[in-house]
Structure 1
Amino acid sequence: MLLGFLGCLGALKEVKVMLGLYFGLLLLLLAAQITVAIIIYTQRSALATKVATYAEELIQGYPAQGPPGDPHESWDAVQQQLSCCGWKGPQDWDHHDDTTRDMDRDRAIACSCLRAPNSTHKTPWMLPHGRCPTAAPQDIFPSGCKERVQTWLAGNLVTIAGVCIGIALGELSLLMLSMFLVRNLDSHYEKLLRGL
């Protein structure tokens, strides 16, 4: 918003310094976006490993009792929105703790792994947060979130690339427009403005 305000005010008041600053900041933003895209593309396997590790740590650290923290609530939202369970599958929730004898508690999964009851109805189902006892296999989402994310990315790759290219072209056109305005402003305009 600040960048847009700077460009609009610079163009409206015809102030070369503001337009030059707008050009420079927009050029830095575009260069940063291109750099991030290149890093993500070249380091995609390392990024996938880090995401998998983070997801597995979230599952391992999911509280057995009490309300989950913000990262766990976000993971619940991911599982519900993508209709998935665990990172690789529901078996991710079957971690066993050797210090406890209560195997039922260890086999409890996040309630966000469960299908909504009466899923034919259009009303959304509000999930309880935390863990639920292991339900029947048909009540648990069978796919892991890794598979669902890969499927979603593959299905929306053209849209994602199109949006990124569209944003880059928009930024390039704004860069050209701001440079055009800087080059074609009357050099005596600021003197005339101060004289009024």
Structure 2
Amino acid sequence: MALGGGMSCVKYLLFCFNLLFAITGLIILIVGIKAQINSWPYIDLTDENFYTSGPVVLIIVGIIVFIVAFFGCCGAVKENHCMIVTTYCAQFSVFLLIIFIAEMAVGIAGYMKHSDLEASIVRHLNETIDQYPTNKEVAKTFDIVQTDLECCGIKGPEDWAAHNLTIPSTCCTGIEINNSMAAQCTSSSPGFHSEGCLDKLVTHFKDIAMVLGGVGLGIALVQLLGVIFACCLARSIRSQYETV
């Protein structure tokens, strides 16, 4: 049944709200995917599960938000009372009880994980650096970190000597390869990484946590206000429909 002429304004408000809601869903989805990509190469360097589960939660939430908002847009355009009311009831119950809590949890966890992060990374690096010559996975992780972040060792290049190991070639940028052998990386080599990896890793993970936390808290509050507004509109639509 079509909405009355007096409800045209409500219809467009509902469409705009759902469009905004869909955009926030896409923002959450994109931020979650980007955080997952940025943390994945270094995820083995910390025991904090937040950097694995946090982005996944946002990805799932973003998909759900976008799908529900899409059906809301369809209901508003088609003036489908059943679709509109059903959608907003679902938004109010499901979003407030599940999605809102999930976003808030990610946001709060993103800020709380700062204090535990450095200790977790230091412990893992100290436990694995001795395995660099024998463990391919450990070597791959160290090489990725030292290449991408342009760093060397844990707190500095001297960590390799402290563990009776030669400085890896990934501690230098632009190492030349002659006869399939990479030239030795030393402190006097061009492009030598003089900074340790710990501070850069902590900064990298904290940036991810801040983004996840900011998006989780910010979008959750915006969506809470939006859902309350949508419920008021849905109630108005139901009242208008029942009086026809």
Using structure 1 for the length normalisation, give the TM-score.
0.63
Judged with a 3 Å threshold, the aligned counterparts in structure 2 of structure 1 residues 132 and 109 are, in CA distance, closer, same or farther, namely farther
Match of 1:187 in 2: 238
Match of 2:64 in 1: 3
Structure 1: gaps (5+ residues):
97-105, 119-124, 192-196
**How far 1:136 sits from its partner (Å)?**
3.0
Match of 1:55 in 2: 125
**How far 1:189 sits from its partner (Å)?**
8.7
Measured against aligned partners, the alpha-carbon deviations of 1:68-107 in whole angstroms (never above 9, x if no partner) come to 22x54233222112211111111222255xxxxxxxxx53
Match of 2:90 in 1: 18
- Percent identity over the alignment? 17
CA distance in 2, matches of 1:175, 1:28: 11
**How far 1:113 sits from its partner (Å)?**
1.2
CA distance in 2, matches of 1:77, 1:181: 47
Letter in 2 for 1:168: L
Structure 2: gaps (5+ residues):
1-61, 74-82
More helix by share: 2
Match of 1:175 in 2: 224
Matched residue pairs, number?
162
Letter in 2 for 1:111: S
Kept in 1, the 8 Å contact 2:169–2:184? The answer is: no
Match of 1:135 in 2: 185
Structure 1 residues 81-100: aligned runs within 5 Å? 81-95=148-162
CA distance in 1, matches of 2:241, 2:90: 13
Using structure 2 for the length normalisation, give the TM-score.
0.52
CA distance in 2, matches of 1:189, 1:22: 25
Secondary structure of residue in 1 paired with 2:238: coil
Q: Does 1:27 align with 2:100?
A: yes
Judged with a 3 Å threshold, the aligned counterparts in structure 2 of structure 1 residues 89 and 48 are, in CA distance, closer, same or farther, namely same
**How far 1:52 sits from its partner (Å)?**
0.5
